Every structure is written in structure tokens, then in C-alpha cells.
Amino acid sequence: MNNDIPELVDSLINRLWQRKALRPLYLMLGANYRLNGLTDGWHECYDALRDFRAACRDQLLPDELKDTNRLINLIGIMLDRQDTITDIQNTIIEDMGKTH
């Protein structure tokens, strides 16, 4: 479940980019860039995703809306259990080290 979050974010951003949905992409990137490795960043990402969904609901394809809802739910569950945030952050850091 935890590894699904970065993959879902990347997938959603790529799909918005591919179909040139610029306003939703702009708002989604805002949510993505709030992930700063700190707990507050996860809360800000969660809030930004909810704002993204509210502002762009009519501009999203059904699979994009489904994945947005899934992200919101996954991050919400994670925020309820703070111990999983560290696991996800470590995975992201490890993955970044592999690409650089």
C-alpha cells in the first residue's frame, strides 16, 4: 500500500501531461511538490489533493478521479498511523538514490 503512493502520483501526473490537461496538471504538481519529507508535507499534500479534486472534478477522466480518490484515501489512512510515514519517506529516499 505505501509504495503505491509515489507510483500513483507519478502516474497521475504523467497522464495529465500526456493529454495536456494543464490546469489539473498545475494543481496536481502543487500537491506533489508539497511532499518535502516532513510530516507537515504529507498533511499539505493531502489537503492539496482534496483541493485538486474539488477544483478539477469535471476536468478529470474517470480513471484519474478514481486514482485521486485512492491517493486521498491512502494518505489519509497513513496520516492516521504516523509510523508508516517514515517507511514511505525511506522508500522515496532509497529510490532517489538509485536514479542518481
Q: Distances in Å between the alpha carbon of 57 and those of 31, 47, 48, 93, 96?
A: 15, 15, 13, 31, 31
pLDDT over threshold 80, residue 30 = yes
CB 35 within 8 A of CB 13: no
Residue 1: pLDDT band (50, 70, 90) is very low
| pLDDT tens column, 43-83 | 899 999 999 999 999 999 999 999 999 999 998 888 887 65
Of 68, 32, 33, 77, the C-alpha closest to 50 is 68
pTM: 0.76
Domain ranges of the chain: 4-94
Q: For the beta carbon of residue 8, count every other beta carbon within 10 angstroms.
A: 16
